[in-house]
């Protein structure tokens, strides 16, 4: 039988506010354990929550970016369960009236085709702390730094059909929240997390199968692997005449398998009720429109504009808009150098390679936009050849001084002096009588070889156009 998967994603994004969702405690990743855990976050008696303005603004901004309905009245609820890293015994979340309602986003698949995936809702909630289960002589260690950190939980419609689409959806969310500057969304640090609901059904069926929920997935690659492994598992169960049990499973990336979580680790009945310590949040059109006005150009629109405005290929435009920083870098170089194609080649080629090789963020690159612009200008005005440009680029990675100074001090300036080029050409003609004869006999292709020899002699510094022309003239 042919099966079809039905997949829905619940993505948690931690909002990059300065402080927690309901308290003025700092909320910065990587602090010493419990140094960002105050009386509010420890749920000391008598503490009361006050909603962070920024968290609300960021949620609304996200909603507008995915064309979602914005809840003008949102209500917080308590989700009750007991776990040591949740000192209050409940998580404050939004159940019936989330800040962000139905929206959608477009994913691009590997073959270039596009699909629209619905977003059911996105609600604001607080994070729990972290439990460490190793090395505490039989006890668990609790770090409450994350406790009360603002999260946006983005719930997709069950419209995703395979693991690749799930990854594409996740990547799209990742790039959108980063463009919006509302989260770092670093999966390895937990600032973007993903739970996956998977069920399968006979292809063509409209009924939904029993679903399982996979937790603990912390990289794009594992999302794909975890989903494929779960689809496979459900197929075996069903083809074996068994039934899939609705349960929560923990994915183990090392063994590429999942196992059911013990029921103690989660309760199915959270006994939700409206949070009496918080009043309903009301926002109006003026507020919403003011946020809409701050929306940046989003990746899809930017990519389309790069294609039409700069004549880039879809592929290059996609690569250059992968992050907002990269797109802005490219655009600065393209505009100030006046050569978008060259800018795109340098950015997607040598620059990207240098970033990968050195494991740098763009911001850490010793070659910022102004320096790359200068390099391109020097190639365009024939100070250096394109080939020498690569040498200069390599030198610029090591040497922070001015581009012109690097070219001068290393003697990389292109030789355009016709006397010097003439002597080069004469030398090549003398050294390669055979090829010269072949050219004279009409074998045009040999010219390339001879130009190459002259360039080699000049250590790449001769102007190839001039060499070409002079060789031709001399061999006539």
Partner 1 sequence: MAFDKTEVEKVAQLARLHISDIEKDEVTGRIKDILALIDEMQSVDTDAVAPLAHPLDMTQRLREDDVTESNRRDELQQLAPEVEAGLYLVPKVIE
Q: Which has the closest alpha carbon to 170: 113, 108, 85?
A: 108
What mask, x for binding partner 1 by CB under 8 A, covers residues 15 to 44? --xxx---xxxx-----xxxxxxxxx-x--
- We find the least distance from the C-beta atom of residue 361 to partner 1, in angstroms, to be 25
Contact of 387 with 361, CB cutoff 8 Å: no
DSSP string, 424-444: HHHHHHHH-HHHHHHHHTT-T
> In this structure, what token pair is assigned to residue 332?
């600065």
Q: Does 84 bind partner 1 (CB under 8 A)?
A: yes
Count of residues interacting with partner 1 (CB under 8 A):
54
Of 200-208, 263-271, 297-305, 397-405, the segment contacting partner 1 by CB under 8 A is 263-271
Q: How far apart (Å, rounded) are the C-alpha atoms in residues 116 and 106?
A: 4
Which C-beta is closer to partner 1: that of 9 or that of 70? Answer: 70
Min CB(298)–partner 1 separation in Å: 24
User: Counting contacts by CB under 8 A, is residue 284 touching partner 1?
Assistant: no
32 vs 361, beta carbon nearer partner 1: 32
| DSSP string across 363-430 | GG-SS-HHHHHHHHHHHHTTSS-HHHHHHHHHHHHH--S-HHHHHHHTT---B--HHHHHHHHHHHHH
- HSE-CB at 383 with a 13 A cutoff on CA atoms is 17
Alpha helices (H) in 161-272, listed in sequence order: 163-179, 220-239
140 counts as binding partner 1 under rule CB under 8 A: yes
Which of 203, 221, 271, 456 is in the footprint of partner 1 by CB under 8 A? 271
- DSSP category for residue 31: P
Q: Which stretch binds partner 1 (CB under 8 A): 108-116, 269-277, 293-301, 347-355?
A: 269-277
Stretch 87-116: interaction string toward partner 1, x if CB under 8 A: ---------xx-------------------
Q: Does 144 bind partner 1 (CB under 8 A)?
A: yes
Specify whether the CB–CB gap between 17 and 58 falls below 8 A. Answer: yes
Q: Does 131 bind partner 1 (CB under 8 A)?
A: yes
* Residue 141 in the binding site for partner 1 (CB under 8 A): yes
- Which residues in 246-319 belong to E strands, given as ranges? 248-252, 257-260, 273-274, 281-282
**Site membership for partner 1, residue 125 (CB under 8 A):** no
Q: Side-chain half-sphere of 257: how many Cα atoms within 13 Å?
A: 4
The tokens of 247 are what? 């349960």
Q: Are 85 and 142 in contact (CB under 8 A)?
A: yes
Cα dist. 195→22, 97, 321 in Å? Answer: 25, 22, 27
Q: According to the binding rule CB under 8 A, does residue 138 interact with partner 1?
A: yes
**Out of 45, 46, 48, 53, the residue judged to bind partner 1 by CB under 8 A:** 53
Q: Select from 1-9, 280-288, 312-320, 354-362 the region that touches partner 1 (CB under 8 A).
A: 280-288
Return the number of the residue (204 or 276) whose C-beta is nearest partner 1. Answer: 276
User: Residues interacting with partner 1, by CB under 8 A?
Assistant: 17-19, 23-26, 32-40, 42, 50-56, 75, 80, 82-84, 96-97, 131-133, 136, 138-144, 262, 265, 267, 269, 271, 274, 276, 278-282
């Amino acid at each position: 039988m042919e099966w079809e998967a039905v997949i829905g994603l619940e993505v948690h994004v931690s909002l990059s506010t300065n402080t927690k969702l309901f308290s003025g405690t700092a909320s910065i990743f990587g602090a010493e354990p419990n140094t960002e855990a105050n009386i509010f976050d420890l749920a000391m008696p008598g503490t009361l929550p006050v909603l962070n303005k920024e968290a609300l603004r960021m949620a609304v901004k996200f909603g507008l970016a995915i064309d979602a309905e914005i809840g003008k009245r949102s209500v917080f609820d308590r989700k009750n369960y007991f776990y040591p890293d949740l000192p209050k015994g409940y998580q404050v979340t939004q159940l019936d009236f989330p800040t962000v309602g139905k929206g959608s986003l477009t994913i691009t698949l590997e073959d270039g085709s596009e699909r629209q995936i619905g977003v059911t809702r996105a609600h604001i909630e607080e994070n729990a702390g972290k439990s460490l289960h190793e090395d505490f002589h039989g006890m668990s260690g609790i770090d409450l730094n994350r406790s009360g950190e603002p999260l946006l939980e983005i719930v997709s419609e069950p419209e995703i059909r395979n693991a690749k689409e799930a990854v594409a959806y996740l990547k799209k969310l990742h790039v959108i929240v980063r463009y919006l500057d509302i989260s770092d969304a670093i999966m390895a640090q937990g600032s973007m997390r993903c739970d996956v609901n998977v069920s399968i059904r006979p292809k063509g069926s409209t009924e939904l199968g029993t679903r399982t929920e996979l937790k603990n997935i912390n990289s794009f690659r594992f999302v794909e692997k975890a989903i494929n492994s779960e689809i496979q598992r459900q197929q075996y169960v069903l083809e074996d005449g068994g039934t899939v049990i609705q349960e929560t499973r923990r994915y183990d990336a090392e063994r590429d398998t999942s196992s059911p979580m013990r029921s103690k680790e989660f309760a199915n009945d959270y006994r939700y009720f409206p949070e009496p310590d918080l009043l309903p949040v009301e926002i109006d059109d003026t507020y919403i429109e003011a946020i809409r006005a701050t929306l940046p150009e989003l990746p899809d629109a930017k990519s389309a504009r790069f294609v039409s405005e700069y004549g880039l290929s879809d592929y290059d435009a996609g690569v250059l808009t992968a992050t907002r920083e990269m797109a802005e870098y490219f655009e600065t170089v393209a505009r100030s150098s006046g050569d978008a194609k060259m800018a795109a080649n340098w950015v997607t080629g040598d620059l990207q390679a240098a970033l990968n090789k050195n494991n740098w963020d763009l911001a850490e690159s010793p070659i910022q936009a102004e320096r790359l612009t200068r390099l391109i200008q020097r190639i365009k005005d024939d100070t250096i050849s394109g080939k020498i440009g690569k040498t200069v680029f390599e030198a610029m990675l090591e040497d922070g001084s001015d581009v012109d100074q690097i070219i001068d001090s290393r003697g990389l300036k292109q030789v355009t002096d016709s006397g010097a080029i003439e002597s080069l050409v004469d030398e090549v003609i003398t050294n390669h009588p055979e090829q010269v004869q072949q050219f004279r006999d009409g074998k045009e292709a040999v010219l390339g070889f001879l130009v190459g020899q002259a360039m080699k002699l000049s250590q790449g510094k001769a102007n190839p156009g001039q060499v070409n022309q002079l060789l031709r003239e001399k061999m006539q």
